[in-house]
Structure 1
Amino acid sequence: MYFFKAIKNFFKARVLLWPVLLLAAIIVSATGASFAFGGLNALALNSLFSSSSNERDSQVVQAVTRVQEIALLTLHIEGVARHESNGEIFGVAVPASEKTTLLQYKFDAKLGIDGSQVKIEPTGPESYRVTVPEFIGIGFQDPVFEDPLESSNALSWLTPPAVQTRMINNILSDENKQKYIAQNVPALQEQTREFYSGIIASIDPKITIDFEFAG
């Protein structure tokens, strides 16, 4: 009598266990039914269980730098990048495995100077010297890249495809910025003279200005 009385008191005290037991009975029943029709059905389990995921990108601004970049020239550039490669076996090129990829592009390249590095110093009562730092590539604007075109030979399947992002990075590289600067130094210097002469002349048109360029 004491044993049955203890069990009765247990279920009275643990009445919250009944929902758990009921859920277990439902799962067992569903699983048993799946086995009865030819094995455990994955869809039956998916109907009982589900999952969810969430992605987050947390960013923190570590520093704020003020820049005084002055755009002096804007170059409109259009071109076609070419990438050639071939398959290799043990370091030896395989004949007829050549693959050529063409990527057509266009963008505006902005060239100028860092205005914070420009020095304006008096050299006399009505004369100033403007010391100009090295010209810089400020950035690329409105880049457009067409879908790449690929030309293949019979065994080109041995050659991995060109990586488009790598081709784009080469087109927009710092090396190309320096090339555009080197090709346009006279125009950049002339534009610099006009820019600062106009500012100083608006203050006093009688001032004489001498320019000194880095490099």
Structure 2
Amino acid sequence: MNFFKAVVNFFKTRVLLWPVLLLNVLLVVGTGAVFAFGGLNALGLSSLFSSSSNERDSQVVQAVTRVQEVALLSLHIEGVTRNESNGEIFGVEVPESKKTTLIQYKFDAKLGIDGTQVKIEPTGADTFRVSIPRFIGIGFDNPKFEDPLESSDALSWLTPSAVQTRMMNNVLSDENKQKYITQNEAALMEQAKAFYSGIIASVAPDITLDFEFAG
């Protein structure tokens, strides 16, 4: 009888241990969840305070224009551009403050016409008039500028250095394009005649052409 009571008391004790074991399991799982949640929060906070950079260049083509530029002449140009400046104090030039900058350059200047503006109109049975628009500077190919050379007087430290990009832009300016056109106008006219005469003769060799150039 005493043995039977002892066995019953043993099983009663084990049954009462389940809530304790369950509570321990819940505590372990809860603690793990807290650490996991805390870890996620830590990751979240670290990402919150981290930094990153990203650069993008977005371009959109707004319009496409057909260009039919006809190059008639290519001029190889070589030269030296020069800039001289003096220091001033209160608007008065300082003696011995001259600073001279020289840049040697070379490039090919292309001259021609806008082919879309050329008109070919019949003037008789076998004659046509070819109207040539104004000559234009198409562009500069293979520009090369050497390193600048600078000479200075004793007080040249009062004089700011020349802006080299401005000197280069002056060399490749529209004014210079027009100067090259004026200097080579006769050659441009002859080349325009030869160019269009060759094209038309390949199709209709018996046609007589009369050329008219824009003033």
Counterpart CA distance in 1 for 2:197 and 2:40 is 85
What is the Cα-based RMSD across aligned positions, in Å? 2.3
**Aligned equivalent of 2:89:** 89
Counterpart CA distance in 2 for 1:51 and 1:80 is 51
Counterpart CA distance in 1 for 2:166 and 2:87 is 19
Q: Does residue 17 of structure 1 match 2:46? A: no
**Aligned positions, number:** 181
Counterpart CA distance in 2 for 1:160 and 1:203 is 62
Counterpart CA distance in 2 for 1:115 and 1:131 is 11
CA deviation profile, 1:28-65 (whole Å, cap 9, x unmatched): xxxxxxxxxxxxxxxxxxxxx98654433222211111
Matches within 5 A, 1:1-215: 12=31, 14-15=34-35, 16-17=37-38, 53-215=53-215
The structure with the larger Rg is: 2
Structure 2: where are the runs of 5+ without partners?
1-26
Following TM superposition, by how much is the alpha carbon of 1:68 offset from its aligned partner in structure 2, in angstroms? 0.4
**Aligned equivalent of 1:4:** none
Change (3 A) 1:102 1:20: same
Following TM superposition, by how much is the alpha carbon of 1:14 offset from its aligned partner in structure 2, in angstroms? 4.7
Opposite residue 94 of structure 2, the aligned amino acid is: V
Percent identity over the alignment is 74
Opposite residue 153 of structure 1, the aligned amino acid is: D
If the length of structure 1 is used for normalisation, what is the TM-score? 0.78
Change (3 A) 1:162 1:55: farther
Query: What SS does the corresponding residue of 1:203 show, helix, strand or coil?
Result: coil
Following TM superposition, by how much is the alpha carbon of 1:206 offset from its aligned partner in structure 2, in angstroms? 1.2
Change (3 A) 1:82 1:131: same
Opposite residue 157 of structure 1, the aligned amino acid is: W
